[in-house]
């Protein structure tokens, strides 16, 4: 499944540093996207077929650390569609999803948006960390992936999966492999193993061909499963 197949199709991704066609206003795209697509298409026969199916689409960062982490908490253990619906209702309740408005909101209003009691606790703790200055976003650019994961998982409700989503969608780190992600495992099963069950070891073996752009490959595997691009 991980044999090298030369790509014959040019990657459809943007040159980087700007916006994909159809991209969201104010969102940042990775400068490495075109290089990543070319590399993946040259080293993975499945991605060589998959990537051209989504011209103009790419990973985008919203540029706001709190929003990315909050969306990741909202999206825990539910589908992309369900997570978007809850997020839209939360936005309608808060006006702006930021630490201060969230802390000022009543638990009843948050529950009415579709959040579980546990997720409300997690979001409020996250908001307190930002409001109190216990998180230093300026330091993240100088830290490696594992150091950032260790810092984030100290926050209540943020586990490794949520921290990895943050690395991918906020910091745009190129080589993250979220093996705890159900969608990634399901997508690898469908694309590489004809729907047969896939272990973490199987997924890691497939992803060996994706280095150093495992985040990009993961994004395309997700894209193959959902009608709208995954975003946090």
Dump pLDDT digits (tens) for 202-231: 999 999 999 999 999 999 999 999 877 877
19 has pLDDT over 80: no
> 175 near 211, Cβ under 8 Å?
yes
pLDDT tops 90 at residue 29: no
Model pLDDT for residues 35-55, shown as the tens digit of each residue:
999 999 999 999 999 999 999
Are 144 and 72 spatial neighbours (Cβ–Cβ below 8 Å)?
Answer: no
Q: What does the pLDDT read at residue 124?
A: 96
pLDDT at 64: 87
Number of Cβ within 10 Å of residue 8's Cβ equals 8
Q: Phi-psi region for residue 22, left (φ > 0), alpha (ψ -120 to 50) or beta?
A: left
pLDDT in tens, 161-183: 989 999 999 999 999 999 999 99
Q: State which CATH number among 1.10.260.40, 1.10.340.30, 3.20.20.70, 3.30.428.10 fits the domain covering 65-167.
A: 1.10.340.30
Domain ranges in the chain? 33-60+175-225, 65-167
Cβ–Cβ < 8 Å for 115, 83: no
For position 138, what pLDDT does the model report?
85
CATH fold group of domain 33-60+175-225: Endonuclease Iii, domain 2 (1.10.1670)
Structure tokens at 98: 């930021």
Banded pLDDT at 8 (limits 50, 70, 90): very low
Q: For residues 136 and 202, what is the distance between their CA atoms, to the nearest angstrom?
A: 36
What pTM value is reported for the model? 0.79
Q: 24 or 57, which is more confident? A: 57
A 10 A CB-CB count for 221 gives: 27
Tokens of 159: 């586990």
């Amino acid at each position: 499944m991980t044999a090298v197949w030369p790509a014959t199709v040019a990657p459809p991704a943007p040159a980087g540093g700007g916006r994909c066609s159809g991209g969201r206003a104010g969102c940042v795209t990775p400068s490495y996207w075109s290089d990543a697509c070319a590399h993946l298409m040259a080293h993975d026969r499945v991605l060589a077929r998959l990537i051209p199916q989504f011209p103009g689409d790419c990973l985008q960062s919203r540029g706001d650390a709190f929003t990315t982490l909050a969306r990741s908490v909202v999206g825990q253990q539910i589908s992309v569609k369900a997570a978007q619906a809850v997020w839209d209702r939360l936005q309608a309740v808060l006006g702006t999803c930021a630490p201060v408005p969230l802390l000022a909101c009543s638990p009843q209003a948050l529950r009415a948006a579709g959040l579980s009691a546990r997720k409300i606790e997690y979001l409020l703790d996250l908001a307190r960390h930002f409001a109190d200055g216990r998180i230093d976003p300026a330091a993240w650019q100088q830290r490696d992936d594992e150091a950032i994961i260790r810092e984030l998982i100290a926050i209540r409700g943020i586990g490794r999966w949520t921290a990895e989503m943050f690395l991918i969608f906020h910091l745009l780190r190129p080589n993250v492999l979220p093996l705890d992600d159900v969608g990634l495992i399901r997508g690898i099963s469908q694309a590489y193993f004809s729907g047969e069950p896939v272990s973490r070891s199987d997924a890691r073996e497939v992803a060996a061909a994706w280095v150093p752009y495992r985040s990009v490959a993961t994004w395309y595997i997700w894209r193959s499963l959902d009608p709208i691009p995954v975003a946090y």
